Amino acid sequence: MEAAKEGECSLKSDRLFQLLYLLLEKGTATAPEIARTLDVSVRTVYRDVEALSFAGVPLYASAGKGGGISLAAGYSLNKALLSDAEQNQILFAIQSLRATDRAVDGLLAKLGGIFKKQSVNWIEVDFSRWGLGETDHRRFDIIRNAILEKRVLEVLYCGASGQTTRRKIKPFKLIFKDKNWYLQAFCLHAEDYRLFKMGRIMELSLCSETFEDTFEDAPPIEMPSPPAPQPVTATLRFTPAVAFRVFDEFDRRSVEPQADGTLLVNAPFPLDSWAIGYLLTFGTEIEVLQPPALRAKIADLSKKIYEHHKT
Protein backbone atom coordinates (compact mmCIF):
# COMPACT_ATOMS: atom_id res chain seq x y z
CA MET A 1 0.00 0.00 0.00
CA GLU A 2 2.78 2.44 0.94
CA ALA A 3 4.63 1.63 -2.31
CA ALA A 4 1.45 2.34 -4.28
CA LYS A 5 1.06 5.71 -2.54
CA GLU A 6 4.68 6.57 -3.28
CA GLY A 7 4.07 5.69 -6.93
CA GLU A 8 1.00 7.93 -7.08
CA CYS A 9 2.95 10.81 -5.51
CA SER A 10 5.77 10.34 -7.99
CA LEU A 11 3.37 10.32 -10.95
CA LYS A 12 1.63 13.43 -9.66
CA SER A 13 4.95 15.18 -9.05
CA ASP A 14 6.07 14.37 -12.61
CA ARG A 15 2.75 15.64 -13.99
CA LEU A 16 2.98 18.88 -11.99
CA PHE A 17 6.46 19.45 -13.36
CA GLN A 18 5.20 18.77 -16.92
CA LEU A 19 2.37 21.26 -16.37
CA LEU A 20 4.77 23.89 -15.09
CA TYR A 21 7.22 23.29 -17.93
CA LEU A 22 4.35 23.58 -20.44
CA LEU A 23 3.34 26.96 -19.05
CA LEU A 24 6.96 28.15 -18.96
CA GLU A 25 7.24 27.23 -22.63
CA LYS A 26 3.86 28.44 -23.94
CA GLY A 27 3.14 31.30 -21.55
CA THR A 28 -0.62 30.68 -21.52
CA ALA A 29 -2.66 27.56 -22.22
CA THR A 30 -6.29 26.61 -21.76
CA ALA A 31 -7.29 23.78 -19.45
CA PRO A 32 -8.50 21.61 -22.38
CA GLU A 33 -5.15 22.13 -24.17
CA ILE A 34 -3.24 21.13 -21.06
CA ALA A 35 -5.52 18.13 -20.53
CA ARG A 36 -4.87 16.88 -24.08
CA THR A 37 -1.11 17.37 -23.74
CA LEU A 38 -0.86 15.59 -20.39
CA ASP A 39 -3.53 12.99 -21.26
CA VAL A 40 -5.66 13.76 -18.19
CA SER A 41 -9.11 15.20 -17.57
CA VAL A 42 -9.82 18.93 -17.38
CA ARG A 43 -10.89 18.37 -13.78
CA THR A 44 -7.43 16.90 -12.99
CA VAL A 45 -5.78 19.95 -14.59
CA TYR A 46 -7.66 22.30 -12.27
CA ARG A 47 -6.71 20.16 -9.25
CA ASP A 48 -3.05 20.28 -10.34
CA VAL A 49 -3.22 24.05 -10.82
CA GLU A 50 -4.62 24.34 -7.31
CA ALA A 51 -1.81 22.12 -5.94
CA LEU A 52 0.83 24.30 -7.62
CA SER A 53 -0.79 27.44 -6.27
CA PHE A 54 -0.71 26.02 -2.73
CA ALA A 55 2.99 25.27 -3.31
CA GLY A 56 3.60 28.96 -3.98
CA VAL A 57 3.71 28.92 -7.81
CA PRO A 58 2.11 32.21 -9.02
CA LEU A 59 -0.57 30.94 -11.41
CA TYR A 60 -3.58 32.91 -12.56
CA ALA A 61 -6.51 32.30 -14.93
CA SER A 62 -8.10 34.74 -17.35
CA ALA A 63 -11.42 34.37 -19.15
CA GLY A 64 -12.45 35.23 -22.70
CA LYS A 65 -10.74 34.93 -26.06
CA GLY A 66 -6.98 34.47 -25.66
CA GLY A 67 -7.39 33.63 -22.00
CA GLY A 68 -6.33 30.56 -20.09
CA ILE A 69 -3.96 29.51 -17.33
CA SER A 70 -0.73 31.51 -17.08
CA LEU A 71 2.36 31.99 -14.95
CA ALA A 72 3.14 35.37 -13.47
CA ALA A 73 5.68 37.28 -15.55
CA GLY A 74 9.27 36.77 -14.44
CA TYR A 75 8.63 33.46 -12.66
CA SER A 76 11.63 31.11 -12.60
CA LEU A 77 11.75 27.40 -11.85
CA ASN A 78 11.79 26.55 -8.17
CA LYS A 79 14.45 24.05 -7.16
CA ALA A 80 11.94 22.36 -4.82
CA LEU A 81 10.18 20.82 -7.85
CA LEU A 82 13.31 18.84 -8.73
CA SER A 83 14.58 15.90 -6.72
CA ASP A 84 18.20 15.76 -5.59
CA ALA A 85 18.98 13.19 -8.30
CA GLU A 86 17.31 15.35 -10.97
CA GLN A 87 19.32 18.38 -9.87
CA ASN A 88 22.54 16.34 -10.20
CA GLN A 89 21.48 15.08 -13.64
CA ILE A 90 20.94 18.65 -14.83
CA LEU A 91 24.35 19.78 -13.54
CA PHE A 92 26.11 16.73 -15.03
CA ALA A 93 24.36 17.18 -18.40
CA ILE A 94 25.41 20.84 -18.56
CA GLN A 95 28.97 19.91 -17.61
CA SER A 96 29.08 17.51 -20.56
CA LEU A 97 28.42 20.48 -22.89
CA ARG A 98 32.05 21.43 -22.32
CA ALA A 99 32.81 18.63 -24.78
CA THR A 100 31.26 20.76 -27.53
CA ASP A 101 33.32 23.79 -26.48
CA ARG A 102 30.36 25.58 -24.94
CA ALA A 103 31.04 28.18 -22.23
CA VAL A 104 28.89 26.81 -19.42
CA ASP A 105 30.80 27.82 -16.28
CA GLY A 106 28.52 30.82 -15.65
CA LEU A 107 25.39 28.70 -16.05
CA LEU A 108 26.80 26.01 -13.76
CA ALA A 109 27.60 28.62 -11.11
CA LYS A 110 24.05 30.00 -11.23
CA LEU A 111 22.39 26.59 -11.06
CA GLY A 112 24.80 25.47 -8.36
CA GLY A 113 23.72 28.51 -6.34
CA ILE A 114 20.02 27.78 -6.88
CA PHE A 115 20.42 24.10 -5.98
CA LYS A 116 22.95 24.90 -3.23
CA LYS A 117 25.35 22.37 -4.73
CA GLN A 118 29.04 22.71 -5.40
CA SER A 119 29.81 21.92 -9.02
CA VAL A 120 32.01 18.82 -9.25
CA ASN A 121 34.26 18.76 -12.30
CA TRP A 122 33.79 15.02 -12.73
CA ILE A 123 34.20 14.79 -16.50
CA GLU A 124 36.33 16.44 -19.16
CA VAL A 125 35.97 15.56 -22.82
CA ASP A 126 37.98 17.19 -25.58
CA PHE A 127 37.30 16.04 -29.15
CA SER A 128 39.96 18.29 -30.68
CA ARG A 129 43.07 16.70 -32.15
CA TRP A 130 46.39 16.76 -30.31
CA GLY A 131 48.20 20.01 -31.12
CA LEU A 132 45.26 21.40 -33.10
CA GLY A 133 42.93 22.42 -30.28
CA GLU A 134 42.71 26.10 -31.22
CA THR A 135 42.14 25.31 -34.92
CA ASP A 136 39.44 22.72 -34.19
CA HIS A 137 37.65 24.94 -31.66
CA ARG A 138 37.54 27.79 -34.18
CA ARG A 139 36.12 25.47 -36.85
CA PHE A 140 33.47 24.14 -34.45
CA ASP A 141 32.50 27.70 -33.54
CA ILE A 142 31.94 28.56 -37.21
CA ILE A 143 29.93 25.38 -37.88
CA ARG A 144 27.85 25.76 -34.70
CA ASN A 145 26.95 29.33 -35.63
CA ALA A 146 26.09 28.27 -39.17
CA ILE A 147 23.75 25.53 -37.93
CA LEU A 148 22.03 27.65 -35.26
CA GLU A 149 21.71 30.74 -37.46
CA LYS A 150 20.82 28.72 -40.60
CA ARG A 151 23.59 30.25 -42.67
CA VAL A 152 25.24 28.78 -45.74
CA LEU A 153 28.84 27.60 -45.41
CA GLU A 154 31.46 27.69 -48.15
CA VAL A 155 33.96 24.83 -47.83
CA LEU A 156 36.99 23.56 -49.66
CA TYR A 157 36.68 19.79 -49.36
CA CYS A 158 39.03 16.94 -50.22
CA GLY A 159 37.06 13.93 -51.41
CA ALA A 160 38.01 10.26 -51.11
CA SER A 161 39.56 10.45 -54.61
CA GLY A 162 41.97 13.16 -53.43
CA GLN A 163 40.35 15.85 -55.58
CA THR A 164 39.48 19.12 -53.83
CA THR A 165 36.33 21.07 -54.68
CA ARG A 166 34.92 24.34 -53.41
CA ARG A 167 31.22 24.19 -52.67
CA LYS A 168 28.41 25.81 -50.71
CA ILE A 169 26.42 23.76 -48.24
CA LYS A 170 23.49 24.10 -45.86
CA PRO A 171 24.75 22.52 -42.60
CA PHE A 172 22.32 21.08 -40.07
CA LYS A 173 23.96 18.41 -37.92
CA LEU A 174 27.36 17.56 -36.41
CA ILE A 175 27.92 13.84 -35.88
CA PHE A 176 30.62 12.05 -33.91
CA LYS A 177 30.91 8.44 -35.06
CA ASP A 178 33.68 5.86 -34.95
CA LYS A 179 36.35 8.27 -33.62
CA ASN A 180 35.64 10.91 -36.25
CA TRP A 181 33.53 14.07 -36.61
CA TYR A 182 31.23 14.46 -39.62
CA LEU A 183 29.08 17.36 -40.83
CA GLN A 184 25.74 16.45 -42.39
CA ALA A 185 24.58 19.07 -44.86
CA PHE A 186 22.69 19.72 -48.08
CA CYS A 187 25.26 20.36 -50.79
CA LEU A 188 24.21 23.07 -53.25
CA HIS A 189 26.89 21.85 -55.67
CA ALA A 190 25.54 18.27 -55.82
CA GLU A 191 21.93 19.29 -55.03
CA ASP A 192 21.74 16.42 -52.55
CA TYR A 193 22.53 15.48 -48.96
CA ARG A 194 26.17 14.78 -48.15
CA LEU A 195 28.22 13.69 -45.14
CA PHE A 196 31.49 15.64 -44.89
CA LYS A 197 34.35 14.26 -42.82
CA MET A 198 35.63 17.12 -40.69
CA GLY A 199 39.30 16.25 -41.18
CA ARG A 200 38.89 16.68 -44.95
CA ILE A 201 37.39 20.17 -44.75
CA MET A 202 40.45 22.21 -45.69
CA GLU A 203 38.82 25.66 -45.54
CA LEU A 204 35.42 26.93 -44.39
CA SER A 205 33.77 30.31 -44.04
CA LEU A 206 30.33 31.69 -43.15
CA CYS A 207 28.30 33.17 -46.02
CA SER A 208 25.74 35.94 -45.74
CA GLU A 209 23.12 33.69 -47.36
CA THR A 210 20.55 32.11 -45.04
CA PHE A 211 18.04 29.28 -45.47
CA GLU A 212 14.79 28.07 -43.94
CA ASP A 213 15.04 24.34 -44.68
CA THR A 214 13.98 21.91 -41.93
CA PHE A 215 15.76 18.89 -43.52
CA GLU A 216 12.91 16.55 -42.60
CA ASP A 217 13.75 14.37 -45.63
CA ALA A 218 17.42 13.98 -44.65
CA PRO A 219 18.64 10.37 -44.99
CA PRO A 220 19.89 8.40 -41.96
CA ILE A 221 23.57 8.80 -41.16
CA GLU A 222 24.27 5.10 -41.73
CA MET A 223 25.90 5.06 -45.12
CA PRO A 224 26.02 1.83 -47.18
CA SER A 225 29.47 0.29 -47.33
CA PRO A 226 30.85 -2.37 -49.66
CA PRO A 227 30.88 -5.90 -48.26
CA ALA A 228 34.09 -6.65 -46.37
CA PRO A 229 36.19 -9.70 -47.28
CA GLN A 230 35.69 -12.79 -45.15
CA PRO A 231 38.13 -12.43 -42.22
CA VAL A 232 40.69 -15.05 -41.30
CA THR A 233 42.14 -15.72 -37.87
CA ALA A 234 45.63 -14.26 -37.71
CA THR A 235 48.25 -15.30 -35.18
CA LEU A 236 50.59 -12.41 -34.40
CA ARG A 237 53.63 -12.06 -32.14
CA PHE A 238 54.54 -8.58 -30.81
CA THR A 239 57.68 -7.42 -29.03
CA PRO A 240 57.39 -5.76 -25.59
CA ALA A 241 58.19 -2.40 -27.19
CA VAL A 242 54.64 -2.13 -28.62
CA ALA A 243 52.79 -3.70 -25.68
CA PHE A 244 50.99 -0.39 -25.03
CA ARG A 245 49.49 -0.48 -28.53
CA VAL A 246 48.55 -4.14 -28.29
CA PHE A 247 46.55 -3.58 -25.10
CA ASP A 248 45.02 -0.40 -26.58
CA GLU A 249 43.96 -1.89 -29.89
CA PHE A 250 43.16 -5.56 -29.31
CA ASP A 251 40.62 -7.37 -27.18
CA ARG A 252 42.35 -8.19 -23.89
CA ARG A 253 41.01 -11.75 -24.07
CA SER A 254 42.93 -12.36 -27.31
CA VAL A 255 46.31 -11.33 -25.85
CA GLU A 256 48.55 -14.01 -24.32
CA PRO A 257 51.73 -12.72 -22.58
CA GLN A 258 54.69 -15.09 -23.13
CA ALA A 259 57.54 -15.97 -20.78
CA ASP A 260 60.05 -14.05 -22.95
CA GLY A 261 57.97 -10.83 -22.70
CA THR A 262 56.46 -11.06 -26.18
CA LEU A 263 52.69 -10.97 -26.70
CA LEU A 264 50.83 -13.56 -28.74
CA VAL A 265 47.57 -12.37 -30.30
CA ASN A 266 44.87 -14.30 -32.17
CA ALA A 267 42.47 -11.94 -33.95
CA PRO A 268 40.30 -11.90 -37.08
CA PHE A 269 41.64 -9.90 -40.04
CA PRO A 270 40.39 -9.50 -43.62
CA LEU A 271 42.95 -10.21 -46.34
CA ASP A 272 42.71 -6.69 -47.74
CA SER A 273 44.87 -3.57 -48.13
CA TRP A 274 43.56 -2.02 -44.90
CA ALA A 275 44.66 -4.99 -42.76
CA ILE A 276 48.07 -5.15 -44.43
CA GLY A 277 48.63 -1.40 -44.05
CA TYR A 278 47.55 -1.53 -40.40
CA LEU A 279 49.87 -4.42 -39.51
CA LEU A 280 52.77 -2.68 -41.26
CA THR A 281 52.42 0.24 -38.83
CA PHE A 282 54.04 -2.05 -36.24
CA GLY A 283 57.18 -2.27 -38.40
CA THR A 284 59.65 -4.89 -37.16
CA GLU A 285 57.94 -5.13 -33.77
CA ILE A 286 55.46 -7.67 -35.19
CA GLU A 287 55.76 -11.11 -36.74
CA VAL A 288 52.81 -12.64 -38.60
CA LEU A 289 52.83 -16.36 -37.80
CA GLN A 290 49.56 -17.35 -39.45
CA PRO A 291 48.02 -17.52 -42.01
CA PRO A 292 50.71 -17.90 -44.69
CA ALA A 293 48.65 -15.85 -47.19
CA LEU A 294 48.63 -12.80 -44.90
CA ARG A 295 52.35 -13.22 -44.13
CA ALA A 296 53.10 -13.38 -47.89
CA LYS A 297 51.04 -10.25 -48.66
CA ILE A 298 52.87 -8.26 -45.98
CA ALA A 299 56.25 -9.47 -47.25
CA ASP A 300 55.29 -8.57 -50.84
CA LEU A 301 54.14 -5.04 -49.95
CA SER A 302 57.20 -4.50 -47.74
CA LYS A 303 59.43 -5.45 -50.69
CA LYS A 304 57.60 -2.99 -52.97
CA ILE A 305 58.00 -0.22 -50.39
CA TYR A 306 61.71 -1.00 -50.16
CA GLU A 307 62.14 -0.99 -53.96
CA HIS A 308 60.22 2.29 -54.17
CA HIS A 309 62.42 4.07 -51.63
CA LYS A 310 65.87 2.51 -52.04
CA THR A 311 66.87 5.01 -54.73
CATH number, position 202: 2.30.30
pLDDT bucket at 4, cuts 50 / 70 / 90: very low
Both 200 and 173 in one domain: the answer is yes
Both 243 and 279 in one domain: the answer is yes
Among 111-115, 218-222, 253-257, 299-303, where is mean pLDDT lowest?
111-115
Rounded mean pLDDT of the chain? 80
Percentage above 70 pLDDT, the chain? 74
223 lies in some domain: no
Q: Rounded CA gap, 205 and 141, in Å?
A: 11
- Residue 190 domain boundaries: 133-210
Both 111 and 174 in one domain: the answer is no
Q: Tell me, what's the pLDDT at 67?
A: 77
pLDDT bucket at 250, cuts 50 / 70 / 90: very high
pLDDT digits (tens, 9 = 90+) for 59-107: 888 877 777 888 777 665 555 556 667 666 666 666 655 555 555 666 5
Both 237 and 273 in one domain: the answer is yes
Both 139 and 90 in one domain: the answer is no
Both 67 and 30 in one domain: the answer is yes
Among 138-147, 221-230, 235-244, where is mean pLDDT lowest?
221-230
167 lies in some domain: yes
Residue 303: which CATH number?
Answer: 3.30.70
pLDDT digits (tens, 9 = 90+) for 203-225: 999 999 999 988 888 888 765 56
Both 248 and 304 in one domain: the answer is yes
125 lies in some domain: no
Both 86 and 61 in one domain: the answer is no
Q: What is the mean pLDDT of residues 288-306?
A: 93
pLDDT bucket at 6, cuts 50 / 70 / 90: very low
66 lies in some domain: yes
Residue 20: which CATH number?
Answer: 1.10.10.10
Q: Rounded CA gap, 224 and 228, in Å?
A: 12
- Give every CB contact of residue 197 below 8 A, 6+ residues apart in sequence: 180, 181, 182
pLDDT digits (tens, 9 = 90+) for 12-46: 556 777 787 777 777 788 888 888 888 889 898 88
Q: Tell me, what's the pLDDT at 77?
A: 57
If one counts the domains in the chain, the total is: 4
Q: Tell me, what's the pLDDT at 139?
A: 86
Burial 208-247 (b: 16+ CB within 10 A, else e): eeeeeeeeeeeeeeeeeeeeeeeeeebebbbbeebbeebe
pLDDT bucket at 167, cuts 50 / 70 / 90: very high
295 lies in some domain: yes
Both 140 and 186 in one domain: the answer is yes
The last residue of one of the domains, among 210, 243, 268, is 210
The last residue of one of the domains, among 178, 210, 242, is 210
60 lies in some domain: yes
222 lies in some domain: no
Q: Tell me, what's the pLDDT at 175?
A: 85
126 lies in some domain: no
pLDDT(200) > 80: yes
On the 0-12 / 13-18 / 19+ scale of CB atoms within 10 A, 163 is: exposed
Both 54 and 73 in one domain: the answer is yes
**Interhelix angle for 2-26 vs 42-54, to 10°?**
90
Both 73 and 94 in one domain: the answer is no
Q: Tell me, what's the pLDDT at 8?
A: 42
Both 69 and 95 in one domain: the answer is no
